[in-house]
Amino acid sequence: MSGIILAVIGMVVFALGYRYYSKFIAEKIYRLDPTYQTPAHKFKDGVDFVPTNKFVLWGHHFTSVAGAAPIVGPAIAVYWGWLPAFLWVVLGTVFAAGVHDFGALVLSVRNKGQSVGTIAHKLIGRRAKLLFLFIILLLVLMVNAVFAWVIANLFIKFPASVLSVFIQIPLAIWIGYWVYKKQGNMLLPSLAALATMYLAAIVASYVEPLQIDLIGYFGGEGSTVMGMTATSMAFFVWIIILMIYVYIASTLPVWKLLQPRDYINSHQLVVGLLILYLGLLFSNPTISAPATNTEADVPWFPLLFITIACGAISGFHGLVSSGTSSKQLDKETDARFVGYLGAVGEGTLALVAIIATVTFFGSTADFTAVYSSFGAASSEGLGVFVQGAAKLATGLAIPPEVASTIVSVIIVSFAATTLDTSVRLMRYIISEIGSEYNVNSLGNKHVATTIAVVSSAALVLIPEGPKGFGSGGYLLWPLFGTSNQLLAGITLLLVSFWLRNQGRNYAPTMIPMIFLLFMTLWAMTSQVFGKWNVFGGSEPSGLLFTFGSIIWIFAIWILIEALILFNKKDKELPTD
């Protein structure tokens, strides 16, 4: 079957979902009111609360939520065949992610533009605030470990991409300075920066001395850290370099590096989507992966639902919806366009990630040789996506070696910005927890950042199983997906509660919430107690057992909160 057919089916379902389902949700469930005075107008301050054109807000919302995660998850999940991953991405986006992102936006708009965390605090109390803080702490810790692992591995696999990624840093700082001090326009300089990066990528693809190949520098793949098994010196050194970078980047003011990088990356998102979809159209590749994998070593049900989080439903979107977008919504009716279509945008990215991965191989046998086990899929998936995307790009007459470098640059840029943001977020959360428990030293920027960076580095470098140092990164991926789903579960719980208090049908938000909690609990129970159990599991693992148990406890906690909340008839949600 042609990859184009898959894309067309996916797009048609997305379009129908937006046209009919989101319309139903907007009119019958959330009951959007075009005359409602949104927080952007009510609290207009020119900084956070600014009424914004819906197209601009959608673009901003989409670029904030789209990153490397909707690519990594699907690239791993196609291990169970393309069909389960495809169905979960398409149906998850339409029935879960769209409703969730849209709901978080409406709930926040109806609550003075407050974030989901603050609303949970008001509704459930300090307990909810702590639950929220700890889940986000866990989430960002795993994001740090997973994305550091992703970047280090892409740098090792595609050394030609290193130069471009490092060129982006001084260019971004310069643009930040130019805009801040000189009040310059950012469009042209950021396009020039992008052109410089891609030029460097093209040159480095052909000129070997420009490829920063640490494996070669440290004497081949066999070179390990102090003679310890498995982790190559190259991986170790990349992680150390990344952690030093991220320490500096996350302590700088955001306008100096993070945001200028973000708008170069916005161009990259557009370039990436164009290359992939146009390449798909022109090259018309055939799907070589099987529709379902009948010989999987781990069951797709329920693990698929935690392997693909971003791209099907992601709690992180709720933070963006309620944290920034809700404060800028011009009219309440714009929420459908911004929230629902924001989720659809991410769905299209996940969809093309599936297509690029499943069309890469020449035959089904080649596919199954690489995707031989779930472990192999987890470690190789992203590399396959990069090569698959490069193959699609050849449809636009881009040479494969240049295409793989550019795709790798795009993913590393996304992952690096996510890493930067997430270490920064972790620093804030550590400070917040410090102030909750009166540990004043945690309020210090450098103390909190040091804790964030050292714990993230420890997690990614932790010796785990026979693979030794550094195998922690990809093993954590499903756990990252799980904590992301839990966050989405809390948001859906709050939205459902709000709907119930308004006397409306809350099934469209309650069903995805129950589904998510059920899948998370099921997956964690089977993995934690059956597989990773250090007291007699089939594949005992201290690291996964510890983190899995924490997530399991959080999931139970949310379930209990949900039951308490729905039994309290008199509790009022502070809505207007």
Partner 1 sequence: MSESKWSLKRIIELYDQIISQPHRTEIARELRDEDDLFMLLLFSEMVGIPNPVFYYTLELYPVMLEKFHDWHLRMGMEKSPLSGIRCC
Whole-angstrom distance, CA of residue 519 vs CA of residue 528: 14
The answer to whether 346 contacts partner 1 (rule: CB under 8 A) is no
Whole-angstrom distance, CA of residue 73 vs CA of residue 143: 13
Contact residue for partner 1 among 22, 38, 63, 449 (CB under 8 A): 63
Helix axes 507-524, 300-307, angle to 10 degrees: 110
Residue 64 CB neighbour total at 10 angstroms: 20
- Two structure tokens written together for 91: 């149906």
Three-class SS state of 48? coil
Please state the closest distance from residue 48 (CB atom) to partner 1, in A. Answer: 7
Q: Specify the residue, 190 or 485, whose C-beta has the smaller distance to partner 1.
A: 190
CB 447 within 8 A of CB 441: yes
Please state the closest distance from residue 186 (CB atom) to partner 1, in A. Answer: 5
Distance in angstroms between the alpha carbons of the first and the last residue of the chain: 52
Which one of 56-64, 66-74, 128-136, 561-569 is the stretch in contact with partner 1 (CB under 8 A)?
56-64
CB 174 within 8 A of CB 227: no
Q: Specify the residue, 348 or 496, whose C-beta has the smaller distance to partner 1.
A: 348
The answer to whether 529 contacts partner 1 (rule: CB under 8 A) is no
Contact residue for partner 1 among 16, 28, 185, 546 (CB under 8 A): 185
Cα dihedral 42, 44, 45, 50 sign: positive
Which one of 184-192, 286-294, 385-393, 568-576 is the stretch in contact with partner 1 (CB under 8 A)?
184-192
Q: Specify the residue, 19 or 182, whose C-beta has the smaller distance to partner 1.
A: 182
Residues 125-164: x where in contact with partner 1 by CB under 8 A, - otherwise, as a string: ----------------------------------------
β-pair partners for 224: 232
The answer to whether 253 contacts partner 1 (rule: CB under 8 A) is yes
Residue 248 CB neighbour total at 10 angstroms: 12
Whole-angstrom distance, CA of residue 479 vs CA of residue 471: 14
Please state the closest distance from residue 172 (CB atom) to partner 1, in A. Answer: 11
Which one of 17-25, 251-259, 286-294, 445-453 is the stretch in contact with partner 1 (CB under 8 A)?
251-259
CB 140 within 8 A of CB 426: yes
Cα dihedral 33, 37, 43, 48 sign: positive
How many chain residues touch partner 1 (CB under 8 A)? 30
Residues 355-394 that bind partner 1 (CB under 8 A): none
Which one of 102-110, 249-257, 364-372, 395-403 is the stretch in contact with partner 1 (CB under 8 A)?
249-257
Contact residue for partner 1 among 10, 17, 32, 64 (CB under 8 A): 64
Whole-angstrom distance, CA of residue 158 vs CA of residue 520: 34
Please state the closest distance from residue 123 (CB atom) to partner 1, in A. Answer: 22
Please state the closest distance from residue 413 (CB atom) to partner 1, in A. Answer: 14
Which one of 95-103, 119-127, 262-270, 466-474 is the stretch in contact with partner 1 (CB under 8 A)?
262-270
Q: Specify the residue, 140 or 194, whose C-beta has the smaller distance to partner 1.
A: 194
Please state the closest distance from residue 392 (CB atom) to partner 1, in A. Answer: 24
The answer to whether 169 contacts partner 1 (rule: CB under 8 A) is no
Distances (CA, A) of 385 to 69, 77, 352: 12, 12, 10
Please state the closest distance from residue 418 (CB atom) to partner 1, in A. Answer: 15
Residues 13-52: x where in contact with partner 1 by CB under 8 A, - otherwise, as a string: --------------------------------xxxx-x-x
- CB burial of 30-52 (b: ≥16 within 10 Å; e: otherwise) equals bebeeebebbbeeeeeeeebebb
The answer to whether 60 contacts partner 1 (rule: CB under 8 A) is yes
> How many secondary structure helices (H) and strands (E) does the chain include?
26, 0
Distances (CA, A) of 132 to 41, 128, 178, 191, 569: 29, 6, 38, 39, 23
Please state the closest distance from residue 256 (CB atom) to partner 1, in A. Answer: 10
Distances (CA, A) of 285 to 7, 14, 367, 407: 11, 22, 15, 18
Please state the closest distance from residue 260 (CB atom) to partner 1, in A. Answer: 8
Residues 466-485: x where in contact with partner 1 by CB under 8 A, - otherwise, as a string: --------------------
Cα dihedral 458, 378, 298, 85 sign: positive
Which one of 136-144, 252-260, 394-402, 449-457 is the stretch in contact with partner 1 (CB under 8 A)?
252-260
- Two structure tokens written together for 10: 């996916």
The answer to whether 267 contacts partner 1 (rule: CB under 8 A) is yes
Contact residue for partner 1 among 153, 161, 250, 266 (CB under 8 A): 266
CB 161 within 8 A of CB 412: yes
Residues 202-231: x where in contact with partner 1 by CB under 8 A, - otherwise, as a string: ------------------------------
Three-class SS state of 362? coil
Residue 207 CB neighbour total at 10 angstroms: 11
Please state the closest distance from residue 349 (CB atom) to partner 1, in A. Answer: 16
Contact residue for partner 1 among 10, 92, 103, 260 (CB under 8 A): 260
Q: Which helix (H) or strand (E) holds 128?
A: helix 126-157
β-pair partners for 286: 2
Please state the closest distance from residue 60 (CB atom) to partner 1, in A. Answer: 5
Question: Which of 10, 6, 9 is CA-nearest to residue 347?
Answer: 10
Composition of the chain by helix, strand, coil, percent to 5: 75, 0, 25
Which one of 178-186, 305-313, 333-341, 540-548 is the stretch in contact with partner 1 (CB under 8 A)?
178-186
The answer to whether 93 contacts partner 1 (rule: CB under 8 A) is no
- Write down the residue that tokens 């102090």 correspond to: 226
C-alpha R_g of the chain: 23
Residues 186-205 that bind partner 1 (CB under 8 A): 186-187, 190
Q: Specify the residue, 179 or 551, whose C-beta has the smaller distance to partner 1.
A: 179
Residues forming the site for partner 1 (CB under 8 A): 45-48, 50, 52-53, 55-57, 59-60, 63-64, 179-180, 185-187, 190, 253-255, 259-260, 262-263, 266-267, 324
